[in-house]
Amino acid sequence: MFLRQIFDPHLSQYAYLIGCQKTGEAIVIDPERDIDRYRAVAAEEGLRLTAVAETHIHADFVSGARELAADLAVQVYLSAEGGPDWQSEWAHGASNITLLHDGDSFKVGNIQFQALHTPGHTPEHLVFLVTDFGGGANEPVALLTGDFIFVGDVGRPDLLEQAAGLVGTQEAGARQLYTSLRKVANLPCHLQILPAHGAGSACGKALGSVPTSTFGYEAKFNHAFKLAVDGSEADFVEFILSGQPEPPAYFANMKRVNKVGPAVLGMLPSPREMTLDDVSQRLDEPGFAVLDTRDGATFLAGHLRRSLFTPPEKFADFAGNYLAPEDEIVVIVNNAAATDDYVRQLVRMGFDKVIGFLPASAVEAAPAGLKVATCAVKFSEVPSLLADGTRRGLLDVRKATEFAAGHLRDASNIAHTRLRSRLDEVSADFPLLVHCASGLRATGACAFLSRTGRESICIADTFDNAPKELLA
């Protein structure tokens, strides 16, 4: 049996390519949309990709299952559980689709995959027990857990309510998750745990950085798992719903896209190199977005008006939270070779209209009339700004958990991931002093607020430097 974990560090997502080396057949579990990566790995190993399976309808990336399903020679395995509202609508009537119920199994070559229904994160969620019959095994070697069990954590049950707006679902989901975890408690300790996400994902609050684990280790040291098995339902529900990170804005669209069916790309967008004249003519169009990947200090000093700050280390995060799905996108790049990676990150989140890239040198040389600067200050300057008689507000764009641990007096807290959905709470009548923990999220938030016509001042400083007299 061949097994390869394929990691997307930007969305902290794991897909799995599993192949039977005797028959040359392979399957990919929970793929992202740019499926050429999986085909390439399979080809390198002398395998052909003949199947794809999903653990659930994802909310955090556009699934590649439909992209693969366009090839009718690829068999597609999806959940039939959760009721009619939790089925992949795009798969109805397709000849190469198999819908799985609890306990159903299928084979790829001599490798068996058995589905177990584990609702909680979502109502239709499945996990897969993997048994390598071709290698002589007669019991499973691994559990593909999707968003059910992570290394050090379990899947959050509140995303349908917090991200998709399905009011009243989070407590029911938490109770389902409690039952599902108890259901699998007696699985063999040697099973490898192969999760769909790692540290950095918003699909849990304590995901580990180690990419895989074992069932026995998680049973001993995964606090949420242990609490479900050994504790009361009430204690588990209270614990699992508290302290969850605010989900990114694009999550709200992902569940719908993956349920209805993303457009089949066939190939990735191929943005052309654009000139400053090409871009400048469209800067004021509402559906046109420029993503600036230069560093924060350079961006604050001068950027094309209405552009968004999307540095390489936060590109997916900031783009996902501040773009609209229908936006036509141009990326400002320091190196044209980086464009392909940015395109992949965007289409994985459902932003398909990547029409061009612009060299950073063109922005540096742009006339003053096309550029604006964002006022940036240090925390040491804030007391005098608040005392000079000008009406200003304080906006903290850190997570709610960070805010609760310590914040500025009279500050409002809207996590940068929720700023787009809560924009009506942000006044346009007076300037806002915007801060985070390091200045990075504040820079991104100020760019977004400027794009919406709001005036802001970026506190480009670490929160540790906040004057004590400003703290609540």
Q: Indicate the average pLDDT of the chain.
A: 96
Confirm whether pTM is higher than 0.85: yes
Q: Residue 389: pLDDT above 90?
A: no
Which residues on adjacent β-strands are paired with residue 108? 111
What is the tens place of the pLDDT at every residue in 273-310? 999 999 999 999 999 999 999 999 999 999 999 999 99
Q: Which of 129, 128, 119 is nearest to 85 (CA)?
A: 119
pLDDT band at 163 (very low <50, low <70, confident <90, very high): confident
Domains 2-260 and 272-372 fall in the same CATH topology: no
Residue 297 is predicted with a pLDDT of: 96
Residue 395 is predicted with a pLDDT of: 97
Residue 200 is predicted with a pLDDT of: 84
d(CA 472, CA 365): 44
Q: Supply the DSSP string of 123-177, one letter for each residue.
A: TT-EEEEEEEGGGT-SS--EEEEETSEETTEE--S-HHHHTT--TT-HHHHHHHH
Name which CATH class applies to 272-372.
alpha beta
CATH number for the domain formed by residue range(s) 2-260: 3.60.15.10
Domain 376-470 in CATH: superfamily? Rhodanese-like domain (3.40.250.10)
Residue 250 is predicted with a pLDDT of: 92
For the chain, the structural domain boundaries read 2-260, 272-372, 376-470
What is the tens place of the pLDDT at every residue in 69-105? 999 999 999 999 999 999 999 999 999 999 999 999 9
Q: Residue 50 contacts by C-beta under 8 Å, 6 or more apart in sequence?
A: 25, 26, 27, 73, 74, 75, 108
Lowest-pLDDT range, 26-40, 185-199, 223-237, 239-253? Answer: 239-253
d(CA 107, CA 112): 4
